[in-house]
């Protein structure tokens, strides 16, 4: 089954995440429902590669949970060809086969991941409601463990 992850460059959530949906060749469509505002508030602005990883993992989870196993010839093993939007397609293509094999092992399905350049930024910080940015790590004297502190910029 061919599955395309589509990014709507004209629409984005209040939290700044692009409107991303998966669509199957049969017309099944699901919007990615990722509470990105919470993630951004806790972790700050992600690097493009970190964001690619979060979106790719979330989309693969969405595919796994929404594509029924009944579409498979044997009623179980789906053959999933998934095209995903990323910021650096060459980099992701270089690990695509390993990721596909990992998902195949974990789910019992046949996964084939393909990567394409996203038509727009997957995340744009919202205007008028600044979210915290990470502050450099510091060490706690009593434990020696690093801490990550966040603060509002404004």
pLDDT attached to residue 51? 92
- Secondary structure of the chain as H, E, C letters: CEEEEEEEEEEECCCCEEEEEEEECCCCEEECCCCHHHHHHHHCCCCHHHHHHHHHHHHHHHHHHHCCHHHCCCCCCCEEEEEEEECCHHHHHHHHHHHHHHHHHHHCCEEEEEEEECCCCCECCCCCCCCCEEEEEEECCCCCCEEEEEECCC
pTM score above 0.85: no
Please give the Cα distance from 84 to 13 (Å, whole number): 19
End-to-end CA distance of the chain: 47
pLDDT attached to residue 33? 87
pLDDT attached to residue 126? 75
Please give the Cα distance from 71 to 75 (Å, whole number): 7
The answer to whether 88 and 122 are in contact (CB under 8 A) is: no
Please give the Cα distance from 93 to 115 (Å, whole number): 6
pLDDT attached to residue 103? 98
* Successive 10-residue mean pLDDT values, the chain, 154 residues: 92 88 91 83 86 95 94 94 97 97 97 96 75 49 46 42
Q: Which residues of 81-91 are buried (b: 16+ CB within 10 A; e: fewer)?
A: ebbbbbbebee
């Amino acid at each position: 089954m061919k599955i395309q992850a589509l990014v709507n460059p004209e629409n984005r959530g209040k939290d700044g995440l692009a409107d991303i949906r998966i669509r199957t060749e049969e017309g099944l469509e699901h919007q990615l429902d990722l509470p990105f505002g919470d993630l951004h508030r806790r972790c700050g602005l992600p690097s493009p590669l970190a964001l690619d990883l979060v979106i790719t993992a979330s989309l693969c989870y969405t595919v796994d949970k929404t594509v029924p196993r009944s579409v498979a010839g044997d009623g179980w093993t789906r053959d999933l060809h998934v095209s995903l939007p990323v910021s650096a397609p060459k980099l992701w293509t270089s690990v695509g086969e390993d990721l596909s094999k990992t998902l195949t092992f974990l789910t019992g399905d046949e996964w084939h991941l393909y990567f394409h350049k996203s038509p727009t930024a997957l995340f744009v910080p919202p205007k008028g409601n600044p979210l915290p940015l990470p502050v450099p790590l510091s060490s706690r004297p009593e434990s020696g463990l690093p801490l990550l502190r966040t603060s509002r910029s404004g």
